[in-house]
Structure 1
Amino acid sequence: MTVLIVAPTEREARSIRRARSCGAGAAARDGLARLLDAERPSAVLIAGWCGGLDPSLASGDLILSRLVVAPGNPELLPRPLILDAARRELRRRRLRFVSSRLLTAERPVARRSAKVDLWNEFGAAGVDMETYYLAAELEARRIPWLAVRVVLDPAGWDLPDSLASWTAEGDERAAIRRAVLRPWEWLGYARLALALPKAERSLRRAAAFASRALATAPVEELPVVIGDG
């Protein structure tokens, strides 16, 4: 199969060989639709960073999504043989990962207390702003998909306040400008900067191996699955 790898931001896409940026937040669905119309892939790997909700996960830890959730929406599941193939490949490559739920939120989850609440409510290992929207577009087109996310900010971290309103890649520059005037946030930014290289390496490896599994998994006879629990 021809596999398209998509990541929300250009920074994430640059961490992955052959990845395309589809945009951040709900707008990522439209970006993905344009890529699908142009490239006509057989399958899609959704890849990027996320916030950790599972308190056992550290920066750089990998989440292989077995189910995607968003508040008020039905759960979406990748096709079972694809998920099994990815698990086998990641184990064979000796990558540390959890196979768990991913939660999609409208905005960054900036507070430790909010992460605890979401962990208790949804049982998702990580939270991001795109995976559900992307999976929904792929389900609508009956295109096989898989999602991998790497934890950048673990459950025990607060994000700097200036990142709490981040919704698109262009917001990053505005957040940095605000942070210059907020020295109390510098430690939080420094912590993210130190975590970034490990997260980039983990994402690069995970995307390479997961896309290989996706390209070779048998999927022709499997139905699209939409679960509710």
Structure 2
Amino acid sequence: MTPPIIVVTGMPFEAHIARGDGVVVVCAQNNTLASDLEAAMARNGARGLVSFGTAGGLRPGVTPGQWVIAQTVLDMPRQAHAYASCVGWADVLCRVMPDALRVDLAGVTAPVVTAEDKAALWRERGAAVADMESHIVARVAQAHGLPFVAARVVIDPAERSLPPAALAGLRSDGSTDILGVLRSLAANPLQLPALLRVGKDASRARQAMRHGREIVARELGAGFGAVSAGI
């Protein structure tokens, strides 16, 4: 039996969108992701890895709903060690999603919250977006000699800071904590307009993610385009 493509996400809604023929989905937070991914590979085998989901914008002008395909993943916890994604695989994905940006992606251990921190990361490292899973996917791929690609959708723009309630609403497993949001709003009601903008941006990103996943499945078949890329 041909080994599957393993698709890694950080949140349950991303995992739901990622599902499809020819893939095994691993949904985990970055503190357990490496071990969970290794376990999935031991059970199923793997012929390639995909980092899939949302990413925070770092480059000015990159808007929610924008697809990005990483050309390089910068492992920020390891002094920005750079991992090059599989060029042929990224080319195949960009061919069916011509509006996707080919950019450098920063892998981080925590959300980049403030507009100032986003600007600093863009200015110092040149990464257009950031997420918390891609650098771990890249590490594991390199350790096993596997191709990888990171396909992400921008969920928040570089120009805006995230309100505290947005972070209070995230449980450790990536699911939504409504009570956490309400407690944060009760403590600081003035953040409500910013939180509503976050919700609008997230809805736009989710819609773009579903649409892009449907395009990839329709145009490239099973396995996130791995067969078309010769993987």
How does the TM-score come out when normalised to structure 1?
0.83
Match of 1:198 in 2: 204
Cα deviations by residue, 1:17-65 (Å, 9 ceiling, x for unpaired) = 3362431224222221222222212222210101101112111001100
Alignment of 1:43-192 (within 5 A): 43-71=48-76, 72-91=79-98, 96-163=99-166, 168-169=172-173, 172-173=176-177, 175-181=180-186, 182-192=188-198
Q: 1:167 to 1:126 in 2, by over 3 A?
A: farther
Q: 1:132 to 1:198 in 2, by over 3 A?
A: same
Cα deviations by residue, 1:62-82 (Å, 9 ceiling, x for unpaired) = 110000002314200112222
C-alpha separation in 1, matches of 2:189 and 2:121:
29
Match of 1:215 in 2: 227
Q: How many percent identity over aligned positions?
A: 22
What SS does the aligned partner of 2:8 have? strand
C-alpha separation in 1, matches of 2:160 and 2:189:
18
Equivalent residues of 1:108, 1:163 under 8 A apart: no
Which residue type is aligned with residue 43 of structure 1?
Answer: G
Cα deviations by residue, 1:170-193 (Å, 9 ceiling, x for unpaired) = 574264243232312222221121
| Structure 1 segments unaligned to the other structure (5+ residues) | 220-229
Which residue type is aligned with residue 144 of structure 1?
Answer: P
Stretch deviating more after TM superposition (207-216 or 106-115): 207-216
C-alpha separation in 2, matches of 1:171 and 1:217:
33
| Structure 2 segments unaligned to the other structure (5+ residues) | none
Q: How many residues align?
A: 215
Q: 1:29 to 1:175 in 2, by over 3 A?
A: farther
C-alpha separation in 1, matches of 2:171 and 2:73:
20
What SS does the aligned partner of 2:32 have? helix
C-alpha separation in 2, matches of 1:134 and 1:168:
19
Q: 1:175 to 1:34 in 2, by over 3 A?
A: farther
Q: Does 1:9 align with 2:11?
A: yes
C-alpha separation in 2, matches of 1:69 and 1:122:
8
- RMSD value, Cα: 2.3
Stretch deviating more after TM superposition (171-180 or 38-47): 171-180
Q: Which has the higher contact order (CA 8 A, sep 6+)?
A: 1
Equivalent residues of 1:105, 1:127 under 8 A apart: yes
